[in-house]
């Protein structure tokens, strides 16, 4: 789960990370009020969306007059910002963060991620802040500092000092940097985060180290024990297909194709999408119904796939172990007999109670194409989709 910049800053501030003074705004009037409340004569108005590169998309506006703050807020609210991370549809701006302007001497990159290859938290830092870490890695790989944290003892202050010295910071800033690094580490560990990124972390003209931007991502599977984090979720920034599925306890990833996939198990899902692509099609989603799915759960999952306007054919591919093929077949029939299904449906069942599942599908009043193998199923759904498209053009 991602959160907004202002939320990440508030959390990191609780762990001792310095942040600029700022306030949230939902209207131009409120933005102007925030500027008066902050004081000074220069402010920054920031669109709050779940994406990086907001500045390049016009989502970060520097203002030197209160009226300019009002105008910037009026321009940004309701706008859809398109960045290289959002895709062509962009993301809507429904809230703003107004912040005091900071006099920057230099910028630093600081990130904490979970390194799955070593099962450790990896700290990544660079004296070349202010741009994407991929860009830094490509253009100045020598500037990147990496350090793994031993899980048995956690991050130690001497490691934070080593990072600070590696970044070329003067002696009077080392303690501030150590405090910032240790604060980010504790936030990562204690809040079940999977990523903490401050870019840029700046050194100001007055020798303060301040988090000018911040991003945090959290482990969805740990949210049940972090209600304070779960409450920060902003569904307006999520794919509505994925949100509907998550609210019903289903795992769904929206894609850009037109063949809907209903599968059990991530490995089988990946293989299925590969086979669809190999057959000349493009998957519209990844929907995992999980193990032990009841007919009612299968029906809900089927309706979620159908709710995607891009879906022009559906492939149900189930290998039943904990699941049962007859339950899956009942759920599919339960869903399609309540509607007039106008797109091709291919079902491939294998495993527990497969014969009973096939019998249920054969008795369905609506046309269901069945297949015995994954390769046959992929060829069948792509072929049926192409035939349906040709019929519509004809």
* Residue 76 pLDDT > 90: yes
Question: 393 falls in which pLDDT band (50, 70, 90)?
Answer: low
* Residue 75 pLDDT > 80: yes
pLDDT of the residue at 337: 84
Q: pLDDT tens, 112-135?
A: 999 988 889 999 999 888 767 777
Q: How far apart are CA 50 and CA 63, in angstroms?
A: 23
Question: 293 falls in which pLDDT band (50, 70, 90)?
Answer: low
Q: In the chain, pLDDT over 70 holds for what percent of residues?
A: 98
Q: pLDDT tens, 317-353?
A: 988 877 789 988 998 898 888 888 889 999 999 988 9
* Residue 86, φ and ψ in degrees, nearest 5: -90, -20
Active site residue 66: no
Q: Please determine, looking at this structure, whether the domain spanning 21-101 carries the CATH number 3.30.365.10.
A: no
* Residue 140 pLDDT > 80: no
Reported in sequence order, the residue ranges of 255-324 that DSSP labels E, i.e. its strands, are 259-263, 285-288, 313-320
CATH code, 1-19+104-238: 3.30.470.20
Give residue limits of the domains in the chain: 1-19+104-238, 21-101, 239-389
Three-class DSSP labels, 24-81:
EECCHHHHHHHHHHHCCCCEEEEECCCCCCCCCCCCEEEECCHHHHHHHHHHHCCCEE
- Rounded to a whole number of angstroms, the CA Rg of the chain reads 26
Pick out the residues of the known binding site.
46, 99, 102, 107, 199, 213, 264
pLDDT of the residue at 225: 94
Element (H, E) at 196: strand 193-204
Q: How far apart are CA 2 and CA 238, in angstroms?
A: 9
Catalytic residue among 5, 128, 197, 379: 197
Q: Which residue has the tokens 């009002």?
A: 70
Contact 24, 97 (CB under 8 A): yes
- The larger pLDDT score, comparing residue 138 to residue 277, is at 277
What superfamily does domain 239-389 belong to in CATH?
Answer: Succinyl-CoA synthetase domains (3.40.50.261)
What are 96's strand-pairing partners?
Answer: 25, 47
Q: How far apart are CA 272 and CA 388, in angstroms?
A: 21
Active site residue 185: no
Mean of the per-residue pLDDT values of the chain: 90
Pick out the residues of the known binding site for substrate.
264
**Pair of tokens at residue 299:** 């029906």
Nearest to 382 by CA among 278, 268, 279: 279
Question: 101 falls in which pLDDT band (50, 70, 90)?
Answer: very high
Pick out the residues of the known binding site for Mg(2+).
199, 213
Q: pLDDT tens, 176-196?
A: 999 999 999 999 999 999 999
* Residue 85 pLDDT > 90: no
What are 392's strand-pairing partners?
Answer: none
Pick out the residues of the known binding site for ATP.
46, 99, 102, 107
pLDDT of the residue at 5: 97
- The larger pLDDT score, comparing residue 390 to residue 26, is at 26
Nearest to 343 by CA among 301, 305, 300: 305
Mean pLDDT of 141-149: 88
Q: pLDDT tens, 210-265?
A: 999 999 999 988 999 999 999 999 988 887 777 777 777 777 888 889 999 988 88
- The larger pLDDT score, comparing residue 289 to residue 353, is at 353
189-193 long-range contacts (CB < 8 A, ≥24 apart) are: 189/121, 189/154, 190/15, 191/11, 191/216, 191/218, 191/226, 191/229, 192/218, 192/219, 192/222, 192/223, 192/225, 192/226, 192/229, 193/112, 193/217, 193/218, 193/219
* Residue 47 pLDDT > 80: yes
Comparing 8-17, 151-160, 262-271, the range with the smallest average pLDDT is: 262-271
Catalytic residue among 6, 97, 109, 252: 109
Instruction: Please report, to the nearest 10 degrees, the dihedral formed by the alpha carbons of residues 376, 381, 382, 387 taken in order.
Output: 120
**Pair of tokens at residue 30:** 């409120």
φ/ψ region of 168 (left if φ > 0, alpha if ψ in -120 to 50, else beta) reads left
């Amino acid at each position: 789960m991602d959160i907004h910049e202002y939320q990440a800053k508030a959390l990191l501030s609780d762990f001792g990370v310095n942040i600029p003074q700022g306030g949230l705004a939902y209207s131009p009037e409120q933005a102007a009020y925030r500027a008066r409340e902050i004081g000074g004569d220069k402010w920054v108005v920031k669109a709050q969306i779940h994406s990086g590169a907001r500045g390049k998309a016009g989502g970060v506006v520097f203002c030197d007059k209160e009226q300019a703050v009002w105008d910037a807020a009026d321009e940004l609210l309701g706008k859809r910002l398109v960045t290289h991370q959002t895709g062509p549809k962009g993301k809507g701006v429904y809230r703003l963060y107004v912040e005091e302007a900071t006099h920057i001497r230099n910028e630093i990159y600081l990130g904490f991620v979970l390194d799955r290859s070593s099962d450790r938290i990896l700290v990544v830092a660079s004296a070349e802040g202010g741009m994407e870490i991929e860009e830094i890695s490509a253009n100045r790989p020598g500037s990147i500092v990496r350090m793994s944290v031993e899980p048995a003892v956690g991050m130690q202050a001497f490691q934070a000092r080593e990072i600070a010295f590696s970044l070329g910071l003067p002696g009077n800033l080392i303690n501030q940097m150590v405090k910032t690094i240790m604060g980010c580490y504790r936030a990562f560990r204690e809040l079940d985060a999977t990523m903490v990124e401050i870019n840029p972390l700046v050194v100001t003209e007055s020798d303060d180290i301040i988090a000018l931007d911040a991003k945090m991502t959290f482990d969805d599977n740990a949210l049940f024990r972090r209600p304070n984090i779960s409450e920060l979720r902003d569904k307006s920034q999520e794919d509505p297909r994925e949100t509907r599925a998550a609210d019903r306890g289903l795992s769904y990833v929206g894609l850009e194709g037109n063949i809907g996939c209903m599968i059990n198990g991530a490995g089988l899902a990946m293989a299925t999408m590969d086979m669809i692509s190999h057959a000349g099609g493009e998957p519209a989603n990844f929907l995992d119904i999980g193990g032990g799915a009841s007919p009612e759960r299968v029906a809900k999952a089927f309706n979620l796939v159908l709710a995607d306007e891009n879906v022009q054919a559906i492939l149900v591919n189930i290998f039943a172990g904990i699941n049962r093929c007859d339950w899956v077949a009942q759920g599919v029939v339960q869903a399609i007999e309540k509607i007039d299904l106008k797109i091709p449906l291919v079902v491939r069942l294998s495993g527990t109670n497969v014969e009973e599942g096939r019998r249920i599908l054969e008795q369905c009043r609506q046309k269901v194409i069945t297949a015995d193998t994954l390769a046959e199923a992929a060829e069948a759904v792509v072929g049926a989709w192409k035939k349906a498209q040709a019929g519509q053009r004809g």
